[in-house]
C-alpha cells in the first residue's frame, strides 16, 4: 500500500491534468508551516505522476473490489470507482489527516467531495472548484466543506489562479495549523430538530435537558436533518430528540426541504436513544408563491415570508407520511419513543390558525398507530396537548431521560 504520512494536509486531485496546480498548493501549504502531501486521483496511466506523495494506484487499492475496479480504461466508470476508493482511503486515515484540500472542475469536485463528506465534522476541508458559484448542495451535503470558486478554470497557473489557489492553501494551512481547542464542556451532546413553528417546544426541551446535555439544535431545512444524523453516525451525539420531522413531508410531496430517503436511517444504524414527534408534519415547503407547482396552486397555501410558501398537508398525504415514518421506526432496535400531540403539530395547526385541520391530523395519528410495531423498546405515546404546550415538552424531556 502507500505510506502517506500522518498529521499532514492532503492535497488531492488528478495529476494527469492538474499536477502543476496541486504541486503549487502543496508548496504554499508547506511554506505556511504545515506539512503537506499530494494525492493523485488520476484514472489514466497510474505511473504518470511519480512525484505524487500518494500514487493513484495506491488510492485505487482501497476500493472494495481492488485496483482493477478503478483502473478500467473507461473514464466514466473509472472516475466513479476512484471516488469510492478515495472515500475509503480518506476514512482509513481520518484520525491522522490534518486537513484535506481538493482542486477540480465538475468531475474532480464530484470525485473528491464524497471523501470530504465522509470525514468527521470539524476536520478542515476546502474544495477549490469551477462549480463553487452554483448550487453546491450536492457536493457539500450535511458536511462542513468550504467551497471556493476558482474564477478561472483549474487548467494551469496564471495571475488569477495563483492568487485563488494561494488563498485556498493559506486557508487550509490556517485551519490545520491552528486547530480549535475542544470545548470545556464534558456533558454529552444530543441533537434536537427545530422549525420556526415548533420553536416553543424545542426551546423548552432544551431548557429542561440543558443542565445535563449539550443541546445541538438543527434547523430542519433538508440539510439540517442530514447534519444531525451525520453527527449521530460519527458518534458525536449520544441521543436525538427529533421534535420536527417535517422534512418527510417535503420528501414525499416534492417540497424544497427534503432530507432524502435516508432520514431516520442513522437512528436504526447507531441505535442511539431516540425521542421523536410530529412537529410541522402539517406543511410542505416551497419557495416564493410563484414557484409552487401547478398541481398545488389551489391548495391551502400560507406565505411564511416572500421567499417561503407553506402548503397544508391533506388527510391522504398524512396517511403516507405516517406510514413512511412508521416503516423507518420499525427498523430501529434501539430505544424509541414517538409522541403524538393531539392538540396540533405546529403553530399554524391550532384553532383559529390557517392550518388547523383535525381530519388531517387524525389521518396522520391513525396511520402512526396502525403501522408502528410497538415493543418494549419502541413505543408510541398519545398526549392531549398541542406540540407547543409546556406539558408536551416536559413529557418529551422526561422520556429522553428515561431511555438515555
Residues 164 and 313 in one domain: no
Q: 193 and 173, same structural domain?
A: no
- At 319-336, the pLDDT tens digits run 999 999 999 999 999 999
For the beta sheet containing 146-149, the strands, ordered from the edge strand earlier in sequence to the opposite edge, are: 36-40, 9-13, 99-104, 125-129, 146-149
Strands 189-194 and 146-149: unpaired
What is the rounded average pLDDT for all residues in the chain? 94
**Is a pLDDT exceeding 80 seen at residue 48?**
no
Domain shared by 24 and 86, yes or no: yes
Instruction: Please state, in angstroms and rounded to a whole number, the distance separating the CA atoms of residues 368 and 159.
Output: 61
Rounded mean pLDDT, 128-133: 95
- Could you say which of 156, 177, 198 is where a domain stops? 177
| Per-residue pLDDT tens over the stretch 232-283 | 998 999 999 999 999 999 999 999 999 999 999 999 999 999 999 999 999 9
Between CA 111 and CA 132 the distance in angstroms is 14
What is the Rg, in whole angstroms, of the alpha carbon atoms belonging to the chain?
Answer: 24
Number of domains in the chain: 2
pLDDT of residue 206: 97
pLDDT in tens, 333-369: 999 999 999 999 999 999 999 999 999 999 999 999 9
- pTM of the full predicted structure? 0.79
Rounded to whole angstroms, how far apart are CA atoms 9 and 221? 32
Question: Is 186 or 303 the better-scoring residue by pLDDT?
Answer: 303
Residue that terminates a domain, selected from 144, 177, 210: 177
173 lies in the same domain as 206: no
Q: What is the pLDDT of residue 95?
A: 85
Q: What are phi and psi of 385, to 5 degrees?
A: -125, 160
Q: Answer whether residue 183 shows pLDDT above 70.
A: no
- Whether residue 28 is contained in a domain is answered as yes
Q: What is the pLDDT of residues 148-175, one digit of tens each?
A: 999 999 888 999 999 999 999 999 999 9
Query: Does residue 253 sit in the same domain as residue 172?
Result: no
Whether the pLDDT of residue 73 is over 90: the answer is no
Residue pLDDT, tens place only, 282-320:
999 999 999 999 999 999 999 988 899 999 999 999 999
Query: Is 103 inside any structural domain?
Result: yes
1 pLDDT band, cuts 50/70/90, is: very low
Query: Same domain, yes or no, for 133 and 273?
Result: no
Written as nine digits, the cell of 142 is: 450535511
Please indicate, yes or no, whether residues 163 and 198 belong to a single structural domain of this protein: no
Give how far Cα 12 sits from Cα of 39, 46, 145, 262, 357, Å: 5, 15, 14, 28, 54
Q: Are residues 379 and 243 in the same domain?
A: yes
CATH number of the domain where residue 326 is located: 3.40.50.12030
Per the domain annotation, does 348 fall within a domain?
yes
What is the residue range of 271's domain? 189-403
Confidence of residue 46 (pLDDT cuts 50, 70, 90): confident
Domain shared by 300 and 386, yes or no:
yes
Can you give the pLDDT at residue 7? 87
Q: What is the DSSP string of 269-282?
A: HH---EEEE-TTTT
Q: What is the largest CA-CA distance in the chain?
A: 72
CA dihedral over 134, 91, 264, 372, signed as positive or negative: positive
Q: Please compute the mean of the pLDDT values over residues 59-78 and round it to a whole number.
A: 92
Let me know: does 340 contact 365? Beta carbons within 8 Å. yes
Residues 266 and 342: their CA atoms lie apart, in Å, by 27
Contact 271, 237 (CB under 8 A): no
Quick one: 197 and 163 in the same domain? no
Same domain as 200, residue 287: yes
- Domain identity same for 239 and 371: yes
Residue 2, pLDDT > 70, answer no
Of 113, 143, 177, the residue at which a domain comes to its end is 177
Amino acid at each position: 500500500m502507500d505510506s502517506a504520512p500522518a498529521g499532514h494536509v492532503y492535497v488531492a486531485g488528478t495529476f494527469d491534468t492538474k499536477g502543476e496546480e496541486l504541486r503549487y498548493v502543496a508548496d504554499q501549504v508547506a511554506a505556511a508551516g504545515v506539512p503537506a502531501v499530494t494525492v493523485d486521483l488520476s484514472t489514466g496511466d497510474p505511473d504518470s505522476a511519480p512525484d505524487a506523495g500518494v500514487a493513484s494506484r495506491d488510492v485505487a487499492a482501497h476500493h472494495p473490489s481492488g485496483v482493477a475496479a478503478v483502473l478500467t480504461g473507461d473514464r466514466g466508470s473509472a472516475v466513479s470507482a476512484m471516488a469510492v476508493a478515495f472515500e475509503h482511503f480518506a476514512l482509513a486515515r481520518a484520525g491522522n489527516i490534518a486537513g484535506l484540500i481538493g482542486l477540480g472542475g465538475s468531475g474532480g469536485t464530484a470525485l473528491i467531495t464524497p471523501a470530504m463528506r465522509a470525514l468527521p465534522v470539524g476536520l478542515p476541508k476546502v474544495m477549490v472548484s469551477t462549480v463553487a458559484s452554483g448550487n453546491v448542495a450536492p457536493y457539500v451535503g450535511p458536511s462542513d466543506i468550504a467551497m471556493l470558486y476558482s474564477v478561472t478554470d483549474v487548467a494551469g497557473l496564471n495571475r488569477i489562479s495563483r492568487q485563488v489557489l494561494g488563498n485556498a492553501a493559506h486557508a487550509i494551512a490556517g485551519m490545520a495549523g491552528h486547530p480549535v481547542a475542544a470545548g470545556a464542556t464534558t456533558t454529552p451532546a444530543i441533537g434536537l430538530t427545530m422549525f420556526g413553528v415548533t420553536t416553543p417546544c424545542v426551546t423548552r426541551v432544551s431548557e429542561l435537558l440543558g443542565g445535563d446535555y449539550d443541546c445541538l439544535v438543527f434547523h430542519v431545512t433538508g440539510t439540517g436533518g442530514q447534519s444531525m444524523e451525520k453527527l449521530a453516525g460519527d458518534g458525536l451525539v449520544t441521543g436525538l430528540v427529533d421534535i420536527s420531522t417535517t422534512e418527510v413531508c417535503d420528501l414525499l410531496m416534492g417540497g424544497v426541504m427534503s432530507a432524502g430517503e435516508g432520514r431516520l436511517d442513522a437512528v436504526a444504524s447507531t441505535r442511539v436513544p431516540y425521542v421523536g414527534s410530529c412537529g410541522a408534519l402539517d406543511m410542505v415547503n416551497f419557495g416564493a408563491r410563484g414557484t409552487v407547482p401547478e398541481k398545488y396552486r389551489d391548495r391551502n397555501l400560507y406565505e411564511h415570508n416572500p421567499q417561503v410558501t407553506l402548503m397544508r398537508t391533506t388527510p391522504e398525504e398524512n396517511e403516507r407520511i405516517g406510514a413512511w415514518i412508521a416503516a423507518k421506526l420499525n427498523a430501529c432496535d434501539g430505544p424509541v419513543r414517538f409522541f403524538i400531540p393531539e392538540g396540533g403539530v405546529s403553530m399554524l395547526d391550532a384553532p383559529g390558525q390557517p392550518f388547523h385541520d383535525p381530519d388531517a391530523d387524525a389521518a396522520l395519528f391513525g396511520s402512526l398507530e396502525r403501522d408502528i410495531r410497538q415493543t418494549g423498546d419502541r413505543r408510541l405515546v398519545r398526549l392531549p396537548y398541542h406540540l407547543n404546550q409546556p406539558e408536551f415538552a416536559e413529557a418529551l424531556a422526561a422520556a429522553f431521560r428515561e431511555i438515555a
